Amino acid sequence: MSEKPHSLPPGTTLAPFVVEKTLSAGGFSIVYLAINQDNKERVVIKEYLPQKMARRDTDGSVILNGAEFTDAYAEGRKLFHHEANALRKLHHPNIVHVTHFFEANGTLYMVMDYKPGTNLQNFIKKGGGGLSQKVILTLFPPLLDGLRVVHEAHMLHLDIKPGNIHVQPGGAPLLLDFGAVHRTQMSRQFQPRSVITDGFSPPEQYKKNGYIGPWTDIYAVGATIRACMDGCPPPSANLRKEKDTLKPAAQAYAKKYSASLLQAVDWAMELDALLRPQSIDEYMELFEKAAIETTPEPKKGMLNRLFGRKTG
């Protein structure tokens, strides 16, 4: 593949790691696949490089695009450090785990375990939505269990969406990208950098003083499940507040999914935060009901094609 303009080239050494290729490049960071020369195991390395504020110099170092970005760049470094520290403290099979954190090239790097698989967004695009109840129940209860650990650590993810869910062979999900991770029970005005994803962020994330909590992540989970059904993101919460044209899942998919699963989607996507589940434990009760309700079975081999082997 062709490397991104700001990416480190293959073969770059970040001792003891050697970059193999660029996996992705976003507005604030670049993600690489690398190999640990000490044990020959592959890892994922995330580099802090906010492309509006900084660039790659000829010697590989990261330099500012101008003195006017000094404060914003430093604040971003603090947030990147915060993300790494948060992930080093969280241990759950469905949460990405940071193993190393270091400084090099004038910037910061975090090293994460490498897990084979692909992105949930790819599954949605490939199939045009319509993921079966069995597939949804393979993915989301483990993901919610991991999110419970995040919330119990008094943190919020605040950027749950299909693009931040990695699906391993067999269907085990992995929650990625904690760049927006934030302490609970604080209003939006205390958060230095706002992360908004239209379709997945609830109304309170759009407000400067919006009161965020576990219910904020739960909205995003519900919207992600709805995207698995629809094949596209739901309308933005702001548009829904002006005129809600989103047909409730319980009406749109009554013949395809169980009543409890459809209720879980609609409950999570309530625009009023007080009407949503207030905790993961409360929300999980519907998934436990959905697991025992009768629904049409997916076509033979669907799980195999999606996840690499059958589950359960």
Q: For 181-209, what is each residue's pLDDT tens digit?
A: 555 544 344 444 567 899 999 999 998 77
> Looking at the chain, which residues constitute the CATH 3.30.200.20 domain(s)?
13-113
Q: Confidence band (pLDDT; 50, 70, 90) for 80? A: confident
What's the CATH code, domain 13-113?
3.30.200.20
Asked if 212 contacts 205 with a C-beta cutoff of 8 angstroms, the reply is: yes
> Looking at the chain, which residues constitute the CATH 1.10.510.10 domain(s)?
118-307
Q: Supply the pTM of this predicted model.
A: 0.83
Q: Confidence band (pLDDT; 50, 70, 90) for 111? A: very high
Between residues 25 and 9, the one the model is more confident about: 9
- Per DSSP, helices labelled H in 90-213 are 120-127, 133-152, 203-206
Topology of the domain covering 118-307:
Transferase(Phosphotransferase); domain 1 (1.10.510)
Contacts of 263 (CB under 8 A, 6+ apart): 250, 286
**DSSP code, position 194:** -
Average pLDDT (29-44) is 94
